[in-house]
Amino acid sequence: MSITYKSTAFKGGKDKHTFVFDLKNTAKNSSKMDSKNIPKLKNNELFSIYSAAADGTSTTLMKLKDNKNFSKEDLRVIGGRFYKEYKRLKSKTLLLNIKDFQIFNGTSDIDALQGFVEGFLLSDYKLQEVKSSATKKETLDIEVHTSGLKPAKVTELKSQLKESEHVSQAVHFARRLGDLPGNMMTPSILAKNAESIKSPALKVTVWNKTKIKKEKMGGLLGVSLGSAEEPKFIIMEYKPKGLKAKSTPTVLVGKGLTFDAGGISIKPSAKMDEMRYDMCGGASVIGAMKLICDMKLKAHVIALIPSTENLLGASAVKPGDVLTARNGKTIEVLNTDAEGRLILADALVYASELGAKEILSTATLTGAMVVALGNSHTGFFTRDDKLAEKINETSIISGENLWRMPLTDDHVSDMQGSYADLSNLASFRGAGSATAAAFLEQFVLKDVPYAHLDIAGTAWNASKRKSYHASNGATGVLVRSFYEYVKNA
């Protein structure tokens, strides 16, 4: 794709598509279209849309909800919705005028334009590489008219739109990792994708099964025993020049379960194909690292991705078996389908050993999270109020809905084992996402700020919630949030 900038007068042209806003049916916009053709807004609608084409030029006019403070996320949603209109009209170049973005309460013109373009670019994703007759992806060309902006503001706008390009590329990168089927996204292939990210500040190390066993990662090793595919433990360290030699890193941990059949506690066959998405936590962390590298952030960040499959081979872990995690704690496996917490446990112990200043983990961990929050919000768990405040602030900036959930000693007591230190299944049926987070907490040093983000509901098939998500498939959730968290730390 390409974005070009022009300071000349704004006008359309052949094979070009003009996008403008209209408020209150005043027809005060950059086009000469009659705004009376726009459908009236229905209850709770953010906008309505009308398009027309003539002489090779097409125009979309969008009416906005009156008296609303529009956030950058609102503009992303508008950009995502407009992308579908743009594709329907088959235009080659999109024309945007900065003046049309000077109408929003609560958002500057540059932020509004960035949000719109970011939503537009995030929408431009579709996995086609597994089809024998995949169509060539069309190039997106965006022409931004900056007439009236001061040079310093034009520079700021270019910088922000370049960031949006990198954001969309990183999110698409993560989506692709999630969407590829299990035979095309094994732990080894996931590791190679992590290694494909190039930056002089990035070092990627991959541990094989022998090394994992030597490092006493009993949870990761145990889950992998039912699969012919080797487990991998992926370590990505980003440390640009100029930082202190002994800088303390922010550590991101993502579950990389590339396919989950449930093990001996096998899952129902219906929609089992969707268990390719059980590695979306790892995909989001890898995507965030790509974005951090591309934007050259001045921060020390380490990403850890424990990766394996959870299958039913002859050597698979059985219900009742006891595994020993890296920190020596023993775990009674009462349900082999509660495997994500087992592989994350070892990674969290290792993260603590790295001297982390804070640890954020993410996984498609529990169905209970889907019951609690659906596919609208990612639930997060932490006992650290300051960390919770930072995550809430990040949510506002990134536009991704993050919601704090309870985590107490009651949840910890529910995870005590009968024959081992801990059980991977709670003794009480309720609060499954909270007890899972309480289990993970036992593998983090007490003085290290820690939060777990459960993306079971938001990792895939959430297009009804955000217009810029694909109609089905992975969302790339948390790539933006992890990036913004590190950027604003």
Q: 338: domain CATH number?
A: 3.40.630.10
Task: Report residue 366 as tokens.
Answer: 């529990």
- For the entire predicted model, the pTM comes to 0.94
The answer on 242 and 126 residing in a single domain is no
Query: pLDDT by residue (tens digit) across 230-245?
Result: 999 999 999 999 998 8
Lowest mean pLDDT across 20-29, 126-135, 222-231, 325-334: 20-29
Mark which of 102, 125, 148 sits at the end of a domain. 148
Query: pLDDT by residue (tens digit) across 353-372?
Result: 999 999 999 999 999 999 99
- CA 275 centroid distance within chain: 17
The answer on 108 and 52 residing in a single domain is yes
Distance, in Å, from the CA atom of 197 to the CA atom of 220, rounded to the nearest integer, reads: 24
10 Å CB burial of residue 52 (0-12, 13-18, 19+) is: middle
The answer on 222 and 127 residing in a single domain is no
Is 320's pLDDT higher than 70? yes
Cα–Cα distance list, 43 to 24, 50, 60, 76, 373 (Å): 16, 18, 22, 20, 24
Strands 16-22 and 93-97: parallel
pLDDT band for position 406 (cuts 50, 70, 90) = very high
Is 77's pLDDT higher than 80? yes
The answer on 140 and 202 residing in a single domain is no
The answer on 189 and 286 residing in a single domain is yes
Task: Report residue 432 as tokens.
Answer: 């499954």
Query: pLDDT by residue (tens digit) across 365-391?
Result: 999 999 999 999 999 999 999 999 999
Query: pLDDT by residue (tens digit) across 130-175?
Result: 998 867 777 888 999 998 899 999 999 999 999 999 999 999 999 9
The answer on 142 and 185 residing in a single domain is no
Is residue 154 domain-resident?
Answer: no
Q: What average pLDDT does range 277-287 have in this prediction?
A: 98
pLDDT value of position 314: 97
Is residue 412 domain-resident?
Answer: yes
Q: Which residues pair with 378 in a beta bridge?
A: 402
Q: CB neighbours (10 Å) of residue 409?
A: 9
The answer on 345 and 287 residing in a single domain is yes
Q: Where are the alpha helices (DSSP H) in 295-420?
A: 340-353, 367-373, 385-398, 409-413
pLDDT value of position 23: 45
Q: Which residues pair with 58 in a beta bridge?
A: 17, 53
Is 219's pLDDT higher than 60? yes
Alpha carbons within 13 A on the beta-carbon side of 66 = 7
Residue 206 identity: V
Place of tokens 């002489």: 55
Domain that residue 204 falls in: 180-487
Is 435's pLDDT higher than 90? yes
The answer on 222 and 120 residing in a single domain is no
Residue 112 identity: A
pLDDT value of position 60: 73
Mark which of 148, 169, 199 sits at the end of a domain. 148
The answer on 114 and 203 residing in a single domain is no
Task: Report residue 149 as tokens.
Answer: 């902006």
Number of compact structural domains in the chain: 2
Residue 14 identity: K
pLDDT value of position 463: 86
Q: What average pLDDT does range 287-292 have in this prediction?
A: 98
pLDDT value of position 484: 98
Query: pLDDT by residue (tens digit) across 3-58?
Result: 999 887 666 655 566 666 654 434 344 445 555 555 666 666 666 666 666 555 66
Is residue 32 domain-resident?
Answer: yes
Task: Report residue 259 as tokens.
Answer: 């396919």
pLDDT value of position 464: 86
Q: What average pLDDT does range 60-70 have in this prediction?
A: 71
pLDDT value of position 475: 98
CB–CB of 339/260 below 8 Å? yes
CB–CB of 367/432 below 8 Å? yes
Is residue 356 domain-resident?
Answer: yes
The answer on 222 and 87 residing in a single domain is no
Is residue 340 domain-resident?
Answer: yes
Contacts of residue 424, Cβ cutoff 8 Å, sequence gap at least 6: 331, 332, 333, 334, 335, 338, 339, 341, 342, 439
Mark which of 129, 148, 167 sits at the end of a domain. 148
Is residue 173 domain-resident?
Answer: no
Burial state string for 302-329 with b = 16 or more CB within 10 A and e = fewer than 16 = bbbbbbbbbbeeeebbeeebbbbbbbeb
Q: What average pLDDT does range 304-330 have in this prediction?
A: 98
The percentage of residues in the chain with a pLDDT greater than 70, rounded to a whole number, is 89
Q: What average pLDDT does range 427-435 have in this prediction?
A: 95
The answer on 190 and 307 residing in a single domain is yes
Distance, in Å, from the CA atom of 81 to the CA atom of 6, rounded to the nearest integer, reads: 25
Q: Which residues pair with 392 in a beta bridge?
A: none
pLDDT value of position 94: 86
Is 273's pLDDT higher than 80? yes
CB–CB of 333/319 below 8 Å? yes
10 Å CB burial of residue 215 (0-12, 13-18, 19+) is: middle
Is residue 175 domain-resident?
Answer: no
Closest CA to 226 of 376, 112, 320, 337: 337
DSSP string for residues in 173-189 = HHHHHHHS-GGGS-HHH
pLDDT value of position 17: 62
pLDDT value of position 28: 42
pLDDT value of position 1: 72
Distance, in Å, from the CA atom of 443 to the CA atom of 450, rounded to the nearest integer, reads: 10
pLDDT value of position 11: 64
Is residue 167 domain-resident?
Answer: no
Contacts of residue 394, Cβ cutoff 8 Å, sequence gap at least 6: 402, 481, 484, 485, 488
What is the three-class DSSP state of 23? coil
The answer on 220 and 126 residing in a single domain is no
CATH code of the domain covering residue 140? 3.40.220.10
Q: Which residues are catalytic?
A: 267, 341
